[in-house]
Structures are given as structure tokens and as C-alpha cells.
Structure 1
Amino acid sequence: MSTHARITASVYTSHVPAIGVAMDQGRTQDPYWQPLFAGYEASRRWMAEHRPDAIVLVYNDHANAFSLDMIPTFALGTAERYDPADEGWGPRAVPPVLGHGELAAHLAQSVIQQDFDLTLVNRMTVDHGLTVPLSLMFGEQPAGAPHWPVPVIPLAVNVVQYPVPSGRRCLQLGQAIRRAVESFDAPLKVQVWGTGGMSHQLQGPRAGLINHAWDQAWMDRLIADPRGLSEMPHLEYVREAGSEGIELVMWLIARGAMSDLADPADVDVPLRAPRVAHRFYHVPASNTAVGHLILENP
């Protein structure tokens, strides 16, 4: 048995803030919301059976931890605890997030030595971009729960203010994270989550844009052709998926962390494609297309 950490799976999901509101207000069985939450029931069962020791959760901050005064492209959380952010109507009534300081410090060291200039964040709050995916995958937490069930290392990506990172750079960062995890000297099971998207636009003449066919084709390529997909220019995301559809480049970080994208020279077993454990797509959720995917390493 290996004494090093390994990435067992990647999880992908939209992080629509209204989903958190629906959960917090007990409206998950309302006719509007029930079909969406039904799509995550299998995911929660899967999570109960495949609970990791740590999660690297890729998300974007929505001007809560970072303002337009300071915009890091990639910011890695290295704290021991992250409280929910006040997004203008008070913090969500969900538990604080516990970090994994030892693994986060190792990721910082390893990924920076692989020539990624990360910003290290020793204190910050986390908004719906991070807490909504946790709610979707773990469900409502008991009143007074001291923290979420699994330690989380936040990785905030700038997809709010241009210029944003390329899909190719995001895929490469995922590959660097995989190498970093696999060099951590403890037998941890780690998942990498990519969040945000799918197609949506929140302002301007195209507000409410949703592109079903493009979303589904994009998920197909994420599974089968991530390298090719990583070359998609930003203009296509904005044109086809709306101004906020650019969040999908964060899914490429999680996809890059999967073992089939390792350098064949670095492994001693044949590289195999990940297994699709669950796939779900739903429209609408507050004028947003919701996409969800779970991939398991073989």
C-alpha cells in the first residue's frame, strides 16, 4: 500500500447562490427546486461511500475575500479555518470550513516550485462559490455542527476581472496539483473539485442566456478530450456561454488533476480514462444552467 497521498476523484458543479438560499430556507422540495436537488441525491450517496481525507476546492470569490483593489489570479488558502462570508445579507448559517494546513503548505511549496506563482492566503472568508458545492454534496448540516465533514483547501481563481487565466494554464495547474498531492508523505485520499458555470449571463442585453447544446458538448469534451478543450479561447466561452460562462475554466483545474493526464514517464501503470460516476444537467436555477459531474480515478 502506498504511503503517499493520491487523488481518488474529481467533482464538478455549478455554485449558484440561490441554491444555497433554497437550502437555507427549507425550500428544496418546492416544485421549482425539487428537480435540481433530486439530481444531487446520488452524489450525496456517492460522497458517503467515497469520503476523502481532504478536498482541494477550486472556486471564484465574488468580491468578498478580494476586492477590485487586489485580484490574485490563483490564491491558495493555507489557513486552519475559514468562516462563511457576509455577502450583503449576513453569512450563511452553515458551519465554518476547516482547512488542512499541512497539506496546503505542501501544495504551496510543490506547486510554486513547479513555476506557478500562487498567492498564499492565511486568513479569509469564503462565499457561496465554496459553500454551495459543499451543501450540494454533503447536504444540510446538523444545527451547531462545528465544521464541515471534510477539511477543505480553497483555491480561488480570478474569473471576475479580465485578464483571466487560460484554459490551458488551468489544466496545467491541475496537473501540478496532482504531482504535488502524490508527493505528500501520508496516505491521504484527496478529491479536487471544480466549480462555477455553466452557461449564464447576469447583465446586459443577453442576461438570462443559457446554451443547452453547448453546455452538454462542453461536458462531453471535458471527459473525453480535456487537452483539446483547454485550447478553447475565452471569446468562445463568452460568446456561447455568456459572460459568466468563463467560470468553466475552473473545471479544467480539477480535470487536469486526474491520473489519465499524467506524463506516462512518471507512472509505472498504463494510463486509463476516469470513470463517470454521475452526470447531471438542469435548467433553470435562477437563470443559470446547472452542470454536475463526478469522475473517479481508476
Structure 2
Amino acid sequence: MTSNQNKICFVTIVGRPNAGKSSLLNTILGYNLSIVTPVAQTTRNQITGVYTEGNLQIIFIDTPGIHKPKSLFGEHLNKEAFDTFSSVDLVLFLSPADEEVLKGDLFILEKLKNVKNKVAVITKLDKVNSRPQLLKDKVNSLMEHDFKEIVATSIENEESIDSLVQLIEKYSYPGDFQYAEDDVTDKSVLFITKEIIRECAINNLSDELPHSIYVEIENFEEDENFLLVEGIIYVTKDSQKGMLIGKNASMIKKIGQLARNKISSQFEKRVNLFLKVKVSKNWQKDPKILKKIGY
């Protein structure tokens, strides 16, 4: 759709790990695009989400949680986020309502110092409903960082999400839509399938495993009503492989069933999913593997 009446806005969502970036994006889009887990630092790529309503199109970029890197992989994750700052119209900085502004926040805020259009979004507002002073303290601590505006949201509160979209619209400008009106992302079915498998694995593993896994698809076949997926989940140690497979293959079967159901629901297709587990030691420090999975 193209018209002089249309408006567009490019928005980057940033914050430290587990600030609620992926949950917020999924809620605005009404589509499970970004991986959501209770484990920090699980978004690994820039995820483009597209919101279109009437004559407004917002292109969101959900970035990996920014942190002080400890490996080549961590450096790649930060670069994914930092690279977006100069190419968008608005940066949303997310910080949970029930947590103080921590060192991780200050690390990001320093990187945002020269960004003109930035808005602080206090997330997880529902967690401080009975403790209003916490919210006041959070707002006060953010006021010194030169934000255009500071707003509070909860994915449980539709009105707060609508208000955020209206705020973003103020930073839009006349322009042709960059995506079709029914598009919600530029990511392929294959990419989203890999992310669903990784999400289901992470949500069923102990805290030590999530950052040690990556998913590779060996075979992928798709038609109008059917998906065939043959995937490999890689870990860094033999002991992790045993944990991921489980006794009598119980864990990998559980992960496979959960992923199969979610992929089927996401794309409204029948899915055959086959998973294997392999060891790839030190993959997070291997430039060849990082390049292979998109870094």
C-alpha cells in the first residue's frame, strides 16, 4: 500500500537481558515472533517486527539484551544492538518497574547518550501495582538521562500498550509502507521454526544450558499444509548432551512435542519434526560457526 497519507516509523527496542523486550514486541504485534523465556540473553538476532494499523506502519527491531561481553559471541550480540541506533527514528529503552537502574542499564544508557529520540519504557508495571513508591523511584532515576518521555507499561494492560503505540506514532513521518499490510516480520518460516525449537529447549533446561545451545536445520520441506523439519540441537559438552536427551530420551521427546505443537499452531500446518542432539565444543568462540548461524 502506498499513499502520501501513510506514515512510517523505525523503532529499536533495547535493554539489558530480560527487560521484557521480546514480550513487549510480541504483545504489540499480536504474534509470537521473538523467543520468550525466563532466562536472560536468549534473543540472539535482530528481529524485525511490523505493526500496521490504518495509515501507520511501525517497523520494530528487537535487539539482543545488551551486556558486557565475555566472549566473541557476546561481542556479536552487542554489535547487533548497537548497530541499530543510528539508523532508526526512535529508540525505546526498556527497564523493569520492580528493579533499580543497575550497572547493566547504565552501560546501555552511556551508549545512548548521543541518541536524540529516545523514550524510556518502564516494563512489568503489574509487578509494582501495590508498591507505588517503587514506580516513583524508578521514574526519578530515569529522569536524569535526557529521555524525551518516560512511560510505564504492562503486557497485561492493553490500554498501556495502546498508549505506547500512540506515543510512537508521534515520531512517525509521511512515507510509503515498507512491508505489505499483512506482514508481521521479515523473518522466514525456517528462522522462526529454529527459534521455536530453541525456545522450547531453553524453557525445559536448567539455567546452565540455554546459552550453550544452538539449532541447525538439516532438512526443511514446506508446502501449503505441511512442514517437514529435521533439526539438530548442538551443545558444548557431552554431559549437556545427556541432560538434553534425558532418561530413555524423555527430555528430547518432550521438547520435540512442545516445539511441534507450537510450530503447527504458529503456521497452521501439520508438522513432522525430528530432532537430534550433537556436541560442538566452544562453538561460541568459533568464527566459522558464528557466521554459519548469522553473525
TM over 0.5: no
**TM-score, normalised relative to structure 2:** 0.27
Q: For the pair shown, which has the larger CA radius of gyration, 1 or 2?
A: 2
More strand by share: 2
**TM-score, normalised relative to structure 1:** 0.27
Higher relative contact order, chain-length normalized (CA < 8 Å, sep 6+): 1
